Amino acid sequence: MGAYGVITSVVMGGGLTVLTMAVIVWAIGKSGHSWSAP
């Protein structure tokens, strides 16, 4: 149950681009960057 599972689910969904972007932004935030810090 890793990133590939999530990506596959999103791709199969076909219209969850927003969710994908949210996950990417969340991952970037966990990396330590501050894209949209409160």
Q: How remote is the C-alpha of 7 from its chain's centroid? A: 8
Q: What is the pLDDT along the chain (38 residues), one digit of tens a residue?
A: 577 887 777 777 765 677 777 888 888 887 766 555 55
- Contact of 12 with 6, CB cutoff 8 Å: no
